Amino acid sequence: MSMITFIAPSILAADFSKLGEEIRAIDKAGADWIHIDVMDGHFVPNLTLGPKVVADLRNYTKKPFDVHLMTSPYKNWIKPFAKAGANIITIHVEAQNNLINSLEEIRSRGIKAGISLKPDTPVEKVIPYLKYCDLVLVMTVNPGFGGQKFIESQLIKIKKIRSIIENSNLKIDVEVDGGINKTNAKKVINAGANILVAGSSIFTPNSNDYSKNITELKNST
């Protein structure tokens, strides 16, 4: 099945001293979504940003904000990030028990609901929740820090998830986050992903030509 590939630059790899300018730049460079990692220092060993920052950044672009909650618990963060301007909120299958209620709450706010799984989490864990989701996010690195190497074994998981979605006649995006670059992007798309989250390969240290980096990533698929 042919799908349009979306690129969602992860601002975790951007210059935090000028996030507004960075978001405006990737918007103009051709980003489809803006991926925002929210980390609490508990579920993952890092801290990033909160709803106030997201609300302020909303003024710099009209592109969809793809908010990935790496928090535990996450239920108390759904409303604040929805009000801050999130268009998609993704929660982790490993983080809490009342997943269905939380996914329904996200959708009730008029935004897309996603569910994510870490590299060590089997596909079977997300199957009961697929009909409540608009997106499945497959982590291809261990979450918490940017710049990690892509875990090749996760290609099998991507294929399996895409197969389950199609066999269930569901319309769900498959997003992949972690170590994505122009070398492995084609393999990820061929496995069944249609949204690529990329950080270090777009916000490269030696080049601020984000348009070139995004175009190369799209063309590699």
The pLDDT value recorded for residue 144 is: 63
Tally the domains of the chain: 1
Q: What is the pLDDT of residues 26-81, one digit of tens each?
A: 999 999 999 999 998 878 878 899 999 999 999 999 999 999 999 888 888 999 99
HEC string of the chain equals CCCCCEEEEEHHHCCHHHHHHHHHHHHHHCCCCEEEEEEECCCCCCECCCHHHHHHHHHHCCCCEEEEEECCCCHHHHHHHHHHCCCEEEEECCCCCCHHHHHHHHHHCCCEEEEEECCCCCHHHCHHHHHHCCEEEEECCCCCCCCCCCCCCHHHHHHHHHHHHHHCCCCCEEEEECCCCCCCHHHHHHHCCCEEEECCCCCCCCCCCHHHHHHHHHHCC
pTM for this one?
A: 0.94
Which CATH number covers residue 26?
3.20.20.70
Let me know if residue 75 belongs to a domain. Answer: yes
Let me know if residue 184 belongs to a domain. Answer: yes
Q: Tell me what percent of the residues of the chain surpass a pLDDT of 70.
A: 96
Residue among 66, 120, 177, 209 flagged as catalytic:
177
Let me know if residue 1 belongs to a domain. Answer: no
Average pLDDT over residues 135-154: 86
Let me know if residue 78 belongs to a domain. Answer: yes
Domain residues for 169?
Answer: 6-219
Q: What is the pLDDT of residues 160-169, one digit of tens each?
A: 999 999 999 9
- 177 in active site: yes
Residue among 37, 66, 134, 173 flagged as catalytic:
37
